[in-house]
Amino acid sequence: MKRIMGMKRRGFIALLLSSLVALTGCTDQNVKWSLYDVSGHLPDLEFSLQGAGNKTITQNDLRGKTVLMFFGYASCPDICPTTMAQLTEVIQKLGNEAKDVRIVFVSVDPHRDTPDILQAYVDAFNKNAIGLTGTETQIANLARKYRIAYQIEKPKPGANADTYDVTHSRGVFIFDNKGKARLLASDTEAVDLVTQDVRQLVEMTKGKI
């Protein structure tokens, strides 16, 4: 079952990436990207969700930061902790530029992932990461905006109501410090390549390139 779900997720992200690659041209003549350039083909960063302490967080709270956003859930057994670990390594490799970058983890499992549970989860990887959740409608609308597919299975008969499987597509959406969607990374990208492109993006938006 896990293998089948993994194949479905890989198939979805491959389809998403291929469709975006077909649309994408070179928009930054002075920069060579290793990741998928999605400039102009995905919406700007815009949301209103709940963070730790039930504080409402919007894109305005991330103004001036390069954002690495992905979707998952705190009890995910494989993809999410791996992605968080990889993005944390990216942040570490950025050195001084790390202060201008934020990891944002959006839960697709709002029933189990309260804002505080989610923040505790991301804190275990990176203290500057932000965990966000919301109502089912809020999450569904945001996921649809960025073409993220997910499915929450019903609990098995006789099982605890909080015991169920969640499947979701994967990929990291990278926004510049003005909230423009710029890059898309698959979960198989090498950490060094992601670091290289994030560094270039930070430097470019500061006028260093």
Q: Which residues are annotated as a binding site?
A: 76, 80, 168
Bridge partners of 130, per DSSP, are 104
- Tell me whether strands 181-185 and 150-152 are parallel, antiparallel or unpaired: unpaired
Binding site as annotated, residues for Cu cation: 76, 80, 168
- Identity of the residue numbered 18: S
Phi, psi of 205 (to 5 degrees): -75, -15
Which among 20, 28, 87, 41 has a CA at the least distance from the CA of 181?
A: 41
With a CB cutoff of 8 Å and minimum separation 6, the contacts of 106 are: 47, 49, 69, 70, 71, 72, 132, 133, 139, 142, 143
